[in-house]
Chains A and B, each alone.
Chain A
Amino acid sequence: MSLKYGVMGLLAEEPLHGYEVKNRFEAMLGGTWEVNIGQIYTTLQRLERDGLVRPMGARGDRGKLLYELSPDGKKALDEWLAQPDSGPQQLHEDIYVKLLLATRLANGDLAQLLGRQKRAYLQRLRDLNRLEERARRDGRIDLARLVRGALLHTEADLKWVDELTADAHGGKTE
């Protein structure tokens, strides 16, 4: 995920100053990605250097300085939006490495690991369900869609753990 394009996307709606970018960015993501104001200013400076955004008006108090998207920025943003995410699959969680190690190490207890992980995934599903419900109730359809994505990912993770568990039992899966 790219903060750079997130910032450009918000500026495509209307010119904003740094704090507005930070607040709107965090609100858009429902608090699932917190950024500090320093990151926002660094990003804006890089974008300005590359000609993708430009400051409006005189450069005084930098907190008050409004930025707008340049025509080059608009073009770069459109290209990015049109591009599918086709890079390698991202597996960030520790469980993947834990699984490999538990399989290799003589004292790695795979069944216990899988059991605990299953509970964690079930709890996450429950939390995500409640979050999705709340987002819909609040009229945040965009956020509900993000949560739905997380929900389906967690469902897949759970199926994976179930498969491994059935494997370990020498049984079969659906």
Chain B
Amino acid sequence: MHIPDGFINGATSLGAGVVAASSLAAGLRRAGRVLQDRQIPLAGLLAAFVFVLQMLNFPVVGGMSGHLLGGALAALLVGPWIGLVVMTVVIGVQALLFADGGLSALGLNVINMGLLTVATGWLAFRFLMIVLPKNSTSILTAGAFGAWLSVVVSSLGFVGEYSIGGVGNASLSTVLAAMAGTHALIGIGEGLITAGVLGAVLAVRPDLVHGARIFGISRADTTLLSRRRVALFVAGGVAVAALLVTVVAPLASDDPDGLERVAIDQGFADEAQDHSLGDSPLAGYDVQGVEGDRMGTVVAGLIGLGATFVAGVAFMIVVRGKRVRSNH
């Protein structure tokens, strides 16, 4: 998800630009030791690979498709520092040459899709490998988990930026639940693909996988996760998504954000609510007829997730029908 201009205010965007630039400087310094000037072509080819991978759609459900962020995968394949530089270049080229993501939001996009995905994917991988046995199955497992977490953390980065400098004043808990919940689902795809690609590379050129090289793994015992592991991984991701929507979101909404707080203090909150969305079935994200505020929010959140999902599938079936015909 590329943030365009005007989505986050100017001051926050500039601050993010400074953070992104300094992380890039650190990445360049550390990558320079490994990469040196002479291996520039290699890094360029890797950037082209990530760019193309982001264009390649994979199937999700009923013809709905998604694409890879690739930060965690890049970190595991070429190491975190080169991975960071490569991801930054990809995002920069997308913004400047393809107008994908706003120029003023470049720092924000680098943080979310570069810095956070690479750092989260790599750190989660390293932490898991401390406890897991040092073999190729563990590489795939830890890589899948790191990739899943990288997507969730990336979406939290967006929520954080939105809460600091977002425009539009949608309530923070709504944004948090929607983003983290859906990305816990999207992350399942990222995790499975990361493990799959790692397995495919391990099978042929295990020496090219940085994450395997540092543990001295030069041979792949297995190149696929077992069915049981995949099932556990998917179930875990779904469970976290459900947990985020049902537990975290209502907890967060107990603490009203700025404007609501002002409204309550001023004593016109009740009045305002009466003629806002009063008659809509999902009024204020509480389902009427369900007992208790919290329970109502939970059900509303789940209905929201479900409705988004159904709308997405329906949309993709329509679009896909066209695309398939024009392909053949």
Partners in one complex: no
Chain B residues close to A by CB (< 8 Å): none
Chain A residues close to B by CB (< 8 Å): none
